[in-house]
Amino acid sequence: MSEILSTVKDACHQALDTVRDLSRRAPGTITTQALCIGAAVGIVSYLLLKKRYRLPPGPFALPLIGNLIAMSNSEEPYYITLSRLTEKYGPVITVYLGPVPCVTLNRVDVVMEALVKKGGDFSGRPYLYSMEVMTEGFKDIIFANDSTAWKLHRKIAVQALRHYMSGAHLEEVVQEVVTKAVEKMLAEPGAFNPHSLNMMLMFVMLDMFCFGGSKDFDEPKLVAQRDFFDKFTTDVGNGFLEDIFPPLRYFPTKKFRSFSDGLDEFLGYIYERIDEHRKHFSPSNIRDITDSILLAQKQAEQEEGSGAMQFFTNTHVGQTVLDLFAGGIDTSRMTLDWGIYYIASFPEVQKRMQAEIDTVTGDRLPGLADRPRLQYTEATLYEIMRMGTVVPMGLPHKTAVDTTIGGYEIPKDMMVLINHWALLHDPEKWDRPSEFRPERFLDAQGKLISRPESWLPFSAGRRSCLGENVAKPELLLIFACIVKRLQLSLAPGSKYDYKPGISSFILHLPKPYEIIVTERSAGKV
């Protein structure tokens, strides 16, 4: 190292001497030759002296393109490919998304090391141009970096969720909306794809929680926003070239222009509902999640000299509401798509769920108080979440400092992805992981076992899903109410297919399927 430093030092002195000599011969000018020498020395010095990292191994990557072509040409989804690559490279693998290096974590021990043991090191979010546009400058919770503002918004959001999506209110809304969804299903004349109805169920439910909104499944505004959101989720899941190749931001693709136009309309819907709440806001009558967040903004305004308002502008309010509204819809409706598919595909599982639910509830709909006695039903929900890994690579992390993981060095600002699919299908952690078996979550007495370490559908650590404690009871109640009322089966001629139908950078959805439903005599309430 001392020899390299001496060589660089000598080269720098030689370049300076050349520049001085040229300046004496041509006062007031610096020749192109001198500039070239200086630039060359600078580049050499940088390459020789920049810090070297022992990055994790990974497959060969093409210049600029990286591993994108190899991933897109693979017959299997990329998260499964990464899981297989652990046999060659180990659980920590470097891949290139275009020119951008990315470290992927594919086993629970290295994931827990990163997210829990070294949570602060991996708490950032990488810069994505599309997300900057969507979040109006990262004024949200999901994609914002760990900061004072982020901690404030997350705390307020968690409090709002716990208050307005829990207890009797959660139970009342779920039962009412599921009843309407069941009536819609029973009105279908034959086999049908439940995707749009599943999404509308979640859309209506979150509209009620966030805005005290309409219970009408045919409300035109809700239908329009549902249709946009369905396309929006798919577009985001497949990614944008503008995130990888910056020049395209000045000449955006047709796909990105469509995304931007639709986003303006969707944000307009959110801000319109917030403005309606402002007109009738009363601190003594907090009606829903939006009112709760507006109350927090009012309280921030009263904290004179605290500087709190710089973290709680109207845009912050809008983005916090958007996170809860859109986030509450998206993963839940995808879990619902998988859940209906699995329940219809495995009649023996459905029969056992119905027997348990009927025994516990009698002639009424299931409620939250029944949860401790719906052990098999909850085990089925956990298996649905394991098999239907709706966000297989989670949301990207970014290192806040130089750090290490699994014995490798990871530089600051490196993108890090968690392969949740690999965790939830690890053959060392799960017996016959490709099989749908709810009983894997039960002990010999039929009681729920402690959550397996590798069951992390909501991630872990400080960036874990803020809605986990709401989503599990909500989804359990939705499935229990549907299975109580209906007998579900796949359309004639259809058969269960383990392989996903839609796999993208973010999404993992079942292939389009159709079901037939009939009303259960034991389910009439």
Q: Residues comprising the binding site for heme?
A: 465
* Amino acid making up residue 439: E
Q: How many CA atoms lie within 13 A of 439 on its CB side?
A: 8
Q: How many CA atoms lie within 13 A of 148 on its CB side?
A: 7
List alpha helices for 362-509, DSSP H. Answer: 375-387, 420-424, 468-485
Q: How are beta strands 415-418 and 100-105 bridged, if at all?
A: parallel
Residues 6+ apart with CB under 8 A from 342: 349, 380, 383, 384, 387, 388, 436
Q: What is the 3-state secondary structure (H, E, C) of 281-345?
A: CCCCCCCCHHHHHHHHHHHHHHCCCCCHHHHCCHHHHHHHHHHHHHHHHHHHHHHHHHHHHHHHH
Q: Closest Cα to residue 104, out of 332, 416, 355, 377?
A: 416
* Amino acid making up residue 400: A
For residue 402 the two structure tokens come to: 């130089």
| CA end-to-end span of the chain | 80
Eight-state DSSP code of residue 114: I
Phi-psi group of 461: left, alpha or beta (phi > 0 → left; psi -120 to 50 → alpha; rest → beta): left
CA gap 201, 513 in Å, rounded: 18
DSSP bridge pairs for 93: 104
* Amino acid making up residue 492: P
Residues at the annotated binding site? 465
**Is there a contact between 191 and 516 (Cβ–Cβ < 8 Å)?**
yes
Exposure string of 491-520, with b = 16+ CB inside 10 Å and e = fewer, is eeebeeeeebebbbbbbbbbeebbbbbeee
Q: Closest Cα to residue 353, out of 433, 438, 423, 430?
A: 438
Burial of 69 (0-12, 13-18, 19+ CB in 10 A): exposed
Q: Which residue is it, tokens 């994108």?
A: 68
